[in-house]
Amino acid sequence: MTQQVQTQTVATSRGVERLVGGQFVMDGAGVKINRVLTQPLQRRLDPFLMLDAFGSDKAGDYIAGFPEHPHRGFETVTYMLEGRMRHRDSAGHEGSISSGGVQWMTAGRGVVHSEMPEQDEGLMEGFQLWLNLPAQDKMRAPWYRDIPAADVPRFTLASGAAVQVIAGSTHGVDGAVRRDVTEPLYLDIELPAGAAFDQPLPAGHNAFLYVFRGDVIVEGKAVPQARMAILDNARDADGVRIKAGAPARLLLIAGRPLNEPIAQYGPFVMNTQAEVFQAVEDFRNGKFTDSTAAAAAAA
């Protein structure tokens, strides 16, 4: 279904509060990643909990993948730029995402899943974002959706800016996924040299961008490649204007903060330590398998 593109402009842009380089860590079964949004930034960038950037053309850096591991209390959004990854979980969901595709999983009350490469050579590159769930939804049933590249809405503006809308809405185009409480905006923006892109942002929403090709300028501040820019929450700003000197590509992510307590222990994100302890016990006691969903998926 074709959506009508509407022109949107920003009168006063947010600025860059600070630049973040991230931390290079090993995750899963030894996959090398750049953890751009780390735990100390969770309150500042509420409702977002983590952003991992991964990319290598060396199979040894990714081939071991992410074997079975649990989650509770949040959502994972995996966006593949290049490569193929297969998902399986204890709620009976299974699917594969490839270049340009998105995997959106709501862990809810608990799920055990694996994410394993379906390739043993070539480039594997992408991102995984963790989006918090409000307290009222943390114990909801697990949910899963694969969104192939062809189903991710995209458009190109007269300036040459090419945009893929993973979540939220921009320039009159609705993304592949919407969430009522956190209202996430998740855009992949490609800018030719000299182009600019305006994105209105609601007052109070936290926002950041991550440049993964080239570099951009926001309100006179240069944001180089492989850096995250946390955008300020200036009261008089109505959005952000992003300019590219040379060709660039970036993620722009924003959302409505939950303003709720965050209690995290590894893959469990709840509101209290008692809830985290319960999550650990439930996982140890095998309560993360949704037998009803699994049976339905197998039927």
- pLDDT tens for the chain, 299 residues long, are 457 899 899 999 999 999 999 888 766 656 778 899 999 999 999 999 999 999 888 888 888 888 888 999 999 999 999 999 888 888 888 888 999 999 999 999 999 988 888 877 889 899 999 999 999 999 999 999 999 999 999 999 999 999 999 999 999 999 999 999 999 999 999 999 999 999 999 999 999 999 999 999 999 999 999 999 999 999 999 999 999 989 999 999 999 999 999 999 999 999 999 999 999 999 999 888 753 343 333 33
CA 27, CA 123: separation in Å to the nearest integer? 18
- Asked if residue 1 belongs to a domain, the reply is no
Output DSSP code: residue 150: G
CA 68, CA 86: separation in Å to the nearest integer? 12
Determine the pLDDT at residue 139: 96
141 lies in the same domain as 159: no
- Asked if residue 221 belongs to a domain, the reply is yes
- Asked if residue 199 belongs to a domain, the reply is yes
For the chain, what is the total number of helices (H) and then of strands (E)? 2, 26
- Token match 């000299």: residue? 194
Segments forming the whole domain that contains residue 180: 153-260
- Asked if residue 285 belongs to a domain, the reply is no
79 lies in the same domain as 174: no
CA 80, CA 211: separation in Å to the nearest integer? 15
Determine the pLDDT at residue 298: 33
140 lies in the same domain as 176: no
191 lies in the same domain as 224: yes
Domain count for the chain, please give it. Answer: 2
147 lies in the same domain as 161: no
Q: What is the CATH number of the domain that holds 130?
A: 2.60.120.10
* 261 upstream amide cis, omega within 30 of 0: no
- Asked if residue 6 belongs to a domain, the reply is no
158 lies in the same domain as 128: no
- Identify which of 121, 196, 114 has the alpha carbon closest to the alpha carbon of residue 161: 196
Q: Are 135 and 181 in contact (CB under 8 A)?
A: no
Question: Cα separations (Å) of 38 from 35, 73, 117?
Answer: 6, 17, 24
125 lies in the same domain as 194: no
- 266 conformational bin, left if phi > 0, alpha if psi -120 to 50, beta if neither: left
What one-character-per-residue DSSP string does 218-272 give? Answer: ETTEEE-TTEEEEEP--TT--EEEEEESS-EEEEEEEE-------EEETTEEESS
CA 295, CA 135: separation in Å to the nearest integer? 28
What SS3 string covers 177-222?
ECCCCCCCEEEEEEECCCCEEEEECCCCCEEEEEEEECCEEECCEE
Task: Please identify, among 90, 125, 151, the residue that sits at the C-terminal boundary of a domain.
Answer: 151
- Asked if residue 284 belongs to a domain, the reply is no
181 lies in the same domain as 78: no
114 lies in the same domain as 129: yes
145 lies in the same domain as 239: no
- Asked if residue 101 belongs to a domain, the reply is yes
- Asked if residue 265 belongs to a domain, the reply is no
31 lies in the same domain as 147: yes
CA 289, CA 279: separation in Å to the nearest integer? 13
Task: Please identify, among 151, 173, 196, the residue that sits at the C-terminal boundary of a domain.
Answer: 151
Determine the pLDDT at residue 290: 53
Predicted TM-score of the model (pTM): 0.93
Task: Please identify, among 106, 132, 151, the residue that sits at the C-terminal boundary of a domain.
Answer: 151
Determine the pLDDT at residue 238: 98
Question: Cα separations (Å) of 77 from 41, 60, 126, 158, 165?
Answer: 18, 24, 11, 30, 13
Determine the pLDDT at residue 45: 98
- Token match 């991550």: residue? 210
**Regarding beta strands 196-200 and 185-191, do their DSSP bridges make them parallel or antiparallel, or are they unpaired?**
unpaired
178 lies in the same domain as 115: no
Determine the pLDDT at residue 234: 96
